Structure 1
Amino acid sequence: MDETAHALGTAATLWELVARRAALTPHRPVLLQGERRLTFGELRDRSERAAAGLHAMGVRPGTVVAWQLPTRIETVLLTLALARIGAVQSPVIPFHRDREVGFALRESKAAYFAVPGEWRGFDFTAMAGRTGAPGVFEAYDSLPDGDPSALPAPPASGTDVRWIYWTSGTTSDPKGVLHTDRSLIAGGSCLAHALRLSADDIGSIAFPFAHIGGPDYLIMLLLYGFPAVLFEKFALPDALDEYRRHGVTTAGGSTAFYAMFLAEQRKQPGRKLIPTLRLLAGGGAPKPPGLHHAVVREMGCALTHGYGMTEVPMITMGSPDDTEDHLAHTEGRPPAGMEIRITDGEIRLRGEAVCKGYLDPVATAAAFDADGFLSTGDLGHLTDTGHLVITGRAKDVIIRKGENISAKEIEDLLHGHASVGDVAVIGLPDPERGERVCAVVERARDAADPTLSDLTAYLRAQGLAVHKLPEQLEVVDELPRNDALRKVLKYKLRDRYA
């Protein structure tokens, strides 16, 4: 572990971390976007000027400010300006619309709402008006500005709730998750130390900065002092020029991102897609072992995957010095300070990176046990080496004729079939069996539609028990996903095919 990064990770607040890094390496770049370049010193100075402008508008310590902005330099400056004041901020993914935005604004009791104006053909300012949002201001390419000498002292406590994040939408009811500066720093430190990155690396943020992964990644940049390329809009192959131009060494986001990179690599086998790339890393969704091996073999880079959630931004993370078997079949190990307890097969968590609960106190009481461990709803076990293996979601276990079937086990096997681009296995109500196994397949590029007999024969050949074989197959052009890390929304599939 880098000693400087470890020392920086003891900062009480996010703003203290920014100030320490800017003092160490003021002239090193931190944010790259198109032709724009921002150094750590400029990051501190411009954020503080924006904080003074916000303070002049009436933003004070504890004021709730919601923001719905794309991944831009200005967005990072705004979030740090709010951290400098000690405001409570509530990031909202840019793809949400009236219903979700109105819900977040009401539940958080936001006093201000920052929007991008019109972005990608949608008028966010008009939507803010329809939702009755208070204190609306645009923060796409300019921010409030003021004299930092008018600011009060920065916040000293890192354990006060200053962040309200929203669960990612894989269920129909989002929850406001309460975080502190210290819980986010602890999560980002886990990611940073596991990946073994250095000041010579060049990272990338291709997912919405409003996602819980945003501060994870920003904290990693601050701890290790290297820059990242920001992508306001991510699409392949269009984004490849930026990866190549800046010499990105580490990329990723989630399993869906790995699959997209791999699909592009397969268009030009034998020629490395991004010449400087040495590591893909991410989390947020299950990672099939077959996809891991294909990426490493065909893209010529390492792949490390981790486990996190809105409530705990980083729980475990694979490390480049793990064995290939551990990298393919586990989610890595937890950092010091993260306690994992397996209770009746369910993963429970306690540690500094765990959230303080939810906006709804009833939800908080239901989520934590008597010993203060958070119930994740995920199933898994720890290996003898301390690596975590996730076997599925508690709600994702299919009960067929009294037998428990793991959807993830079937999905991992089906990912190896040539006609399968992606797959979600769900349980559907069945009057005879209780539930029947249904495979919803997103067809692979240029592949013929698989048949149920094709897939069951393939699974039999892989040694899957007969009672676990799918009894229904649905082939789709695209699986429904959320807009943050592209997680498959299984509840929509259950509704559609029930």
Structure 2
Amino acid sequence: MPTDTAHTLGTSRTFWELVERRAALTPDRPVLLQDDRTLTFGELRSGAERTAAGLHDKGVRPGSVVAWQLPTRIETVVLAMALARLGAVQSPVIPFYRDREVAFAVRESGAAHFAVPGRWRGFDHTAMAERVGARGVFEAYDSLPEGDPAVLPPPPASGTDVRWIYWTSGTTSDPKGVLHTDRSLIAGGSCLAHALHLRADDVGSIAFPFAHIGGPDYLVMLLLYGFPAVLFEKFALPESLEGFRKHGVTVAGGSTAFYSMFLAEQRKQPDTRLVPTLRLLAGGGAPKPPEVHHAVVREMGVRLTHGYGMTEVPMITMGSPDDSEENLATTEGRPPEGMEIRIVEGEVRLRGEAVCRGYLDPAQTAEAFDDDGFLITGDLGHLTGSGHLVLTGRLKDVIIRKGENISAKEIEDLLHRHPAVGDVAVIGLPDPERGERVCAVVEQPAGVPAPTLEDLSSYLRAEGLSVHKLPEQLEVVEALPRNETLRKVLKYRLRERYSGTVK
């Protein structure tokens, strides 16, 4: 159960109010750990204020739209909280997105400023920002703009104004801009924090992009319970194990892919605890096979709790360490107080404070909510007698790979222009490491040599498709299976045919 302090802090109206209240309680306690650096809660508050003043000097005002595409670093969190202090509208962009997605995000959000890391991991983000016509580009990797906090206007008082624009591919070829408030994100993070039964002496870890919707989820958790997290700019095993061990991480995870990576490392030395201090793996964002759950608990000697969330609702349900092993393995956990789940003809619908305000496109918002104000998720499932949610599939044609939504249509639209592709269906196939892998099933035109996976990957890269969306499996067929009415491709037959194959 949440502590009284955590419950009280969870009533904060805004992110900045939450930062200030935590800093007043435990100013000298660490909040962010990275390599040999430590940032305390008090330093987060003061650093964010100085950066807010520096941004103010650049012309950022309450309501200004600022996009940022930055890796998981202390500076990124400080920048995000500086924007929260100003009451700006911030639009995080995943660092590995490239020209197509970035151009769309900065254009559709109307961003007047764009923070980038410069050249990062061999890619020049500043040059890309200039190519796509972004405005107000500035680098914010290892230094941030600073100024005198005396110039700042009062902090925002309302937590129900739209302050965040997140991007999800959904089922369309272009990303959708998801509108969140401080309160919706605080509500989502509170659900995660309280379900996990965390303590002030825990040490967490953020090994995924902070620009993901899970970023503020996790930050809320740190602010509510007053414990630190280790940041990983690049997560890879076994390289990252040193950071987990050095800082004594007790809570780790991210998604099914993370569980599988930890498990694979544990199996190299089955008689030695991988991270001696680790007590809990937790995550969501992708299907979790029950066998993965059982293997982690059995071989790593830790609890594993999995949850259900999406960009539109960062935390819907979450497994709790005191749930039964059966519920932890086969369900997505229970919703928190205030999250309503309605099952309509097998489809999951949601209403509550953590639900987004809709999308940048009003037409998409109108389609996404029913007459009672419930968000139509497109996911299929049912509630058990104990209130746990079981997901059984998805109506949306979206692939979830390592917790990231990938639009099949976007890839299909690009491949349709390839000369060796007559028709194509892109599907997600179950994968123990990724949750799902991307498979392209190509209908080959007559008289044309069959393409190879390398051919299609090179073509898609040249078209500007992000690396994480590239197909990992290719199947070439004479004809795609279709129905007898509108000749629609029957993707479920393809999933049935290729689910057991790996190329």
Shorter-chain TM band: 0.7 to 0.9
Aligned to 1:250: 251
Does residue 17 of structure 2 align to residue 16 of structure 1? yes
Does residue 144 of structure 2 align to residue 93 of structure 1? no
Is this contact kept in 1: 2:286–2:435, CA < 8 A? no
Aligned to 1:383: 384
Q: Which amino acid aligns with 2:490?
A: E
Q: Which amino acid aligns with 1:122?
A: F
Aligned to 1:320: 321
- Separation in structure 1 between the aligned mates of residue 17 and residue 386 of structure 2, nearest angstrom: 35
Give the drift of 1:241. 0.4
- Separation in structure 1 between the aligned mates of residue 329 and residue 367 of structure 2, nearest angstrom: 33
Does residue 485 of structure 2 align to residue 430 of structure 1? no
Aligned to 1:119: 120
Question: Residues 145 and 421 of structure 1: is their aligned pair in 2 closer, same or farther, counting only changes over 3 Å?
Answer: closer
1:13-162 pair list within 5 angstroms? 13-162=14-163
1:190-205 pair list within 5 angstroms? 190-205=191-206
Is this contact kept in 1: 2:256–2:435, CA < 8 A? no
Is this contact kept in 2: 1:203–1:249, CA < 8 A? yes
1:262-273 pair list within 5 angstroms? 262-273=263-274
Aligned to 1:346: 347
Across the two proteins, how many residue pairs are aligned to each other? 432
- Separation in structure 2 between the aligned mates of residue 366 and residue 206 of structure 1, nearest angstrom: 34
Question: Residues 57 and 363 of structure 1: is their aligned pair in 2 closer, same or farther, counting only changes over 3 Å?
Answer: same
Give the drift of 1:426. 8.4
Question: Residues 347 and 431 of structure 1: is their aligned pair in 2 closer, same or farther, counting only changes over 3 Å?
Answer: closer
Aligned to 1:163: 164
Question: Residues 245 and 200 of structure 1: is their aligned pair in 2 closer, same or farther, counting only changes over 3 Å?
Answer: same
SS at match of 1:89: strand
- Separation in structure 1 between the aligned mates of residue 491 and residue 138 of structure 2, nearest angstrom: 51
The two structures have a TM-score, normalised by structure 2, of 0.82
Is this contact kept in 2: 1:331–1:388, CA < 8 A? yes
- Separation in structure 2 between the aligned mates of residue 472 and residue 323 of structure 1, nearest angstrom: 30
Encode CA deviations 1:218-245: one digit per residue, 9 max, x unaligned. 0000000000000001111100000000
Encode CA deviations 1:89-120: one digit per residue, 9 max, x unaligned. 00000001111100000000000000001111
Question: Residues 283 and 366 of structure 1: is their aligned pair in 2 closer, same or farther, counting only changes over 3 Å?
Answer: same
- Separation in structure 1 between the aligned mates of residue 170 and residue 347 of structure 2, nearest angstrom: 21
Is this contact kept in 2: 1:165–1:177, CA < 8 A? yes
- Separation in structure 1 between the aligned mates of residue 103 and residue 349 of structure 2, nearest angstrom: 32
Aligned to 1:311: 312
Question: Residues 333 and 129 of structure 1: is their aligned pair in 2 closer, same or farther, counting only changes over 3 Å?
Answer: same
- Separation in structure 1 between the aligned mates of residue 34 and residue 498 of structure 2, nearest angstrom: 48
- Separation in structure 2 between the aligned mates of residue 53 and residue 396 of structure 1, nearest angstrom: 43
Give the drift of 1:173. 2.6
Question: Residues 170 and 280 of structure 1: is their aligned pair in 2 closer, same or farther, counting only changes over 3 Å?
Answer: farther
Is this contact kept in 2: 1:265–1:298, CA < 8 A? yes
Question: Residues 171 and 303 of structure 1: is their aligned pair in 2 closer, same or farther, counting only changes over 3 Å?
Answer: farther
Question: Residues 335 and 427 of structure 1: is their aligned pair in 2 closer, same or farther, counting only changes over 3 Å?
Answer: farther
SS at match of 1:143: coil
Is this contact kept in 2: 1:304–1:318, CA < 8 A? yes
Question: Residues 473 and 294 of structure 1: is their aligned pair in 2 closer, same or farther, counting only changes over 3 Å?
Answer: closer
- Separation in structure 1 between the aligned mates of residue 237 and residue 171 of structure 2, nearest angstrom: 24
Structure 1 stretch displaced more, 169-178 or 36-45: 169-178
Give the drift of 1:470. 3.8
Encode CA deviations 1:39-94: one digit per residue, 9 max, x unaligned. 00000000000001111111000000000000000000000000000000000000
Question: Residues 472 and 277 of structure 1: is their aligned pair in 2 closer, same or farther, counting only changes over 3 Å?
Answer: closer
- Separation in structure 2 between the aligned mates of residue 182 and residue 188 of structure 1, nearest angstrom: 10
* Unmatched tracts of structure 1, length 5 or more: 398-406, 441-468, 477-498
1:322-337 pair list within 5 angstroms? 322-337=323-338
- Separation in structure 2 between the aligned mates of residue 34 and residue 360 of structure 1, nearest angstrom: 41
SS at match of 2:502: strand
Is this contact kept in 2: 1:380–1:392, CA < 8 A? yes
- Separation in structure 2 between the aligned mates of residue 346 and residue 200 of structure 1, nearest angstrom: 40
Is this contact kept in 1: 2:48–2:82, CA < 8 A? yes
Give the drift of 1:437. 5.4
Question: Residues 168 and 267 of structure 1: is their aligned pair in 2 closer, same or farther, counting only changes over 3 Å?
Answer: farther
1:395-410 pair list within 5 angstroms? 395=396
Encode CA deviations 1:124-169: one digit per residue, 9 max, x unaligned. 1111110111101110011111111111110000000000000156
Question: Residues 432 and 18 of structure 1: is their aligned pair in 2 closer, same or farther, counting only changes over 3 Å?
Answer: closer
SS at match of 2:31: strand
Give the drift of 1:474. 3.7
Aligned to 1:475: 502
Give the drift of 1:394. 1.4
Give the drift of 1:395. 3.8
Question: Residues 292 and 171 of structure 1: is their aligned pair in 2 closer, same or farther, counting only changes over 3 Å?
Answer: farther
* Unmatched tracts of structure 2, length 5 or more: 399-426, 442-479
SS at match of 1:430: coil
Question: Residues 294 and 107 of structure 1: is their aligned pair in 2 closer, same or farther, counting only changes over 3 Å?
Answer: same
- Separation in structure 2 between the aligned mates of residue 472 and residue 225 of structure 1, nearest angstrom: 44
Question: Residues 110 and 227 of structure 1: is their aligned pair in 2 closer, same or farther, counting only changes over 3 Å?
Answer: same
Give the drift of 1:172. 3.2
The two structures have a TM-score, normalised by structure 1, of 0.83
